[in-house]
Amino acid sequence: MANNKRRVSAVDKKVVRKQRRPKLWRIILFLCLIGGLCWGIIRAGMWLYDSSISLYASAEKAYTQYQNTHAANAQTSATPKIPLAYKQLDNILFIGIKDYNNLNDNASTMFLFNINHNDNSISILQIPVNTAISANKSYMAIGDVQKTGIANTMQAVSKLLGINITQYIIMDESTLLQLLAGFNGFDLYVPTDMNYEDIPGNTSIHLKQGYQHLNSKQLLEYLQYRSDDLNDISKAERQKDFLQKLPDYVYSSDFLFNIPSTISIINKSLITNTDLLSPGNIKNYLWAINKNSLTIKILPGHFSADGHYWLPAPADTINAAINKLFFINDK
């Protein structure tokens, strides 16, 4: 019995040793697979390297061609052309109002835009809305004429400046706020603390003095404020500062991204009798602002004794200033 157990034990050990012994063909197959995989990885790396070198060379060549083409285009378009529509629209009166629901309300802002086709420059004459004009042997602010309609406003401005004005654009505060939102804020200096409350008029202005990054609502407050000693003149100066900085923002990444919505707002929300506000014309107009000079002046004059009105300078002084600003004699 004991001999049988020893025989069985010996057989078992022999079997166990046989099972644990690795087969040579398996080892060879495994090494071949590993070698093939490594070779494949090496070949793939070499292909990727060669492809990346070729792709980089093609991209570099394309970029060089783009730079050369862009430089040539920039040279030929150094003075961008104003759209043909502007040939008949030299002077455009801009009027800012509180709300479209009350169109015949007093104007809060008044500009006259002029486009010179000799040098493609754009000039702006700011007309303080408290500018005094004669009315029935008395005086009234030119901004109040808007209460009687846009036709009377254009007639009053034409008489004041000695220029025939037939084109206009009217914008309310809500539309301006939408347009300003497309710039993602402006960096401006607030010259003094601005605090003003008009509960019936739904106007609240609170800005601190100093350099600030103003959002669209704060920027609207900055442009609206007129409760300091200089009244509409200080307001005009701040608006001038804003307009002079505007070209720097026209081609910012924030504004370029919002150009489609800006064009949509302009075409849907402005009240105007001009057809120049097509997408193509707006694009060219913005390009002209970015590339050419933008000159801004305030209507010559001085304050009345009580500070209530801006008294315009004599007609010959205004005529000389307008000729210098708009180059009317060159047209």
Query: Residue 65 corresponds to which tokens in the numbers above?
Result: 């061609």
More confident call, 83 vs 216: 216
Which of 76, 102, 119 is the last residue before a domain boundary? 76
Residue 187 and residue 311 in one domain: yes
In a domain, 81, yes or no: no
Residue 63 and residue 168 in one domain: no
Residue 19 and residue 116 in one domain: no
Asked if 188 contacts 214 with a C-beta cutoff of 8 angstroms, the reply is yes
In a domain, 160, yes or no: yes
Q: Which backbone phi and psi does 126 adopt, to 5 degrees? A: -85, 130
Q: Chain-wide mean pLDDT for the chain? A: 77
Residue 238 and residue 294 in one domain: yes
**Helices 315-326, 150-161: inter-axial angle, 10-degree rounding:** 100
In a domain, 156, yes or no: yes
Residue 116 and residue 254 in one domain: yes
CA 161 – CA 163 distance, rounded (Å): 5
Place of tokens 């220029």: 163
Three-state SS for 269? helix
Domain of 27?
2-76
What total of structural domains would you count in the chain?
Answer: 2
CA 299 – CA 142 distance, rounded (Å): 12
- Region of 254 (left: φ > 0; alpha: ψ -120 to 50; beta: rest) is alpha
Three-state SS for 303? strand
Residue 120 and residue 41 in one domain: no
Quick one: pLDDT at residue 59? 56
Which of 76, 103, 132 is the last residue before a domain boundary? 76
Residue from 321, 324, 322, 303 nearest 312 by CA: 303
Neighbours of 327 (CB within 10 A): 16
Span 103-156, pLDDT tens digits: 888 999 999 988 766 666 778 999 999 999 988 878 899 999 999 999 999 999
Residue 197 and residue 226 in one domain: yes
Residue 174 and residue 198 in one domain: yes
Residue 99 and residue 180 in one domain: yes
Residue 26 and residue 168 in one domain: no
In a domain, 169, yes or no: yes
Residue 69 and residue 136 in one domain: no
Q: Is the pLDDT of residue 27 over 50?
A: yes
The 3-state secondary structure of 163-204 reads: CCCCEEEEEEHHHHHHHHHCCCCEEEEECCCEEEEECCCCEE
| Strand (E) or helix (H) holding 326 | helix 315-326
Residue 175 and residue 274 in one domain: yes
CATH code, domain with 184: 3.40.630.190
CA 242 – CA 223 distance, rounded (Å): 8
Which of 76, 110, 128 is the last residue before a domain boundary? 76
CA 93 – CA 86 distance, rounded (Å): 14
Q: Is the pLDDT of residue 312 over 80?
A: yes
Span 242-295, pLDDT tens digits: 888 887 777 777 777 777 888 888 888 889 887 666 666 666 666 666 555 678
